[in-house]
Amino acid sequence: MPPNLQLLLIEDDASMQTALQRALGRRGIDVQGCSDGALALLQWRSALPDVVVLDLSLPGLDGLQVLEQARRCGLATPVLILTARGTVGDRIMGLNLGADDYLPKPFDLDELEARVRALGRRRTRPGLPAETPADASPLMVGRLRCDNDSGAVYHDGLAMELTPRELALLQALMAKPGHAVSKEKLFALVFPGESDVQYEAVEVVVYRLRKKLVDTGVTLMTLRGLGYLLKVAP
């Protein structure tokens, strides 16, 4: 008999998390729950699930930020986004960041199970983790290092004190050192799903992060018309 499908459910609604754990458990799917976005990557890497079901509205880190960091760290588990934020913009943003499927709330349990099992069948090596986290190299820019497990950024071995938005912006820039990242892309990563926020809000986060990068040997530069990039001091 094949082993049960292993599912990581990243969902901050305790009642829904419990209900899905019980309902899917009765259908032969083993469900582990996580309710905090900031802890989701740690549990993801330790559990090495077959499928991840990810809510977008999470405390700590937004679901889209969790997804973007997971993909950048080499976590290739199939992801189904499950959320009440069912707008076309959210759906496109999630798929562009590496989601494999999207199911808006409210949903039918039979459809959720069918989609989860379909994602589980996509694995190229059944029974083995899709990820190889030990082989994923940490992001490095000068004396800055982004830890694969926690997503924290270290300067000379000391963790930098960054807000979630500053961290999301810095991680996006570290993923493309020496290359400009557009303001639009940074906005999507730093303010996911926040349609009432203006693009200029990115400039505020850039300003605050630039001050925290002083004396790190890394400069956050603005390229007019292109976006922002990190440059290592010679």
pLDDT of residue 51: 93
Phi-psi region of 60 (alpha: psi -120 to 50; beta: other; left: phi over 0): left
Q: Can you tell me the distance from the alpha carbon of 111 to that of 178, in angstroms, rounded to the nearest whole number? A: 44
pLDDT of residue 135: 45
Q: Taking 80 as the threshold, does the pLDDT of residue 40 lie above it?
A: yes
Specify whether domain 137-232 bears CATH 1.10.10.10. Answer: yes
pLDDT of residue 39: 84
Tell me whether the omega of the peptide bond preceding residue 78 falls within 30 degrees of 0, making it cis.
no
Q: Can you tell me the distance from the alpha carbon of 51 to that of 43, in angstroms, rounded to the nearest whole number? A: 13
Q: What is the mean pLDDT of residues 177-193?
A: 82
Rg (CA), the chain: 18
Q: At what angle do helices 164-174 and 183-190 cross, to 10 degrees?
A: 140
Residues 84-136 pLDDT 10s: 755 556 666 777 777 888 888 888 899 999 989 988 876 533 333 344 444 45
Least confident window among 43-57, 189-203, 217-231: 189-203
pLDDT of residue 28: 92
Residues of the chain above pLDDT 70, percent: 85
User: Hey, what amino acid is at 95?
Assistant: L
Higher pLDDT, 106 or 16: 16
Where along the chain do its domains lie? 5-133, 137-232
Confidence grade of residue 27 (pLDDT, cut at 50, 70, 90): very high
Confidence grade of residue 152 (pLDDT, cut at 50, 70, 90): confident
Q: Taking 50 as the threshold, does the pLDDT of residue 46 lie above it?
A: yes
5-133, what's its fold? Rossmann fold (3.40.50)
Q: What is the overall mean pLDDT for the chain?
A: 82
Q: Can you tell me the distance from the alpha carbon of 145 to that of 125, in angstroms, rounded to the nearest whole number? A: 31
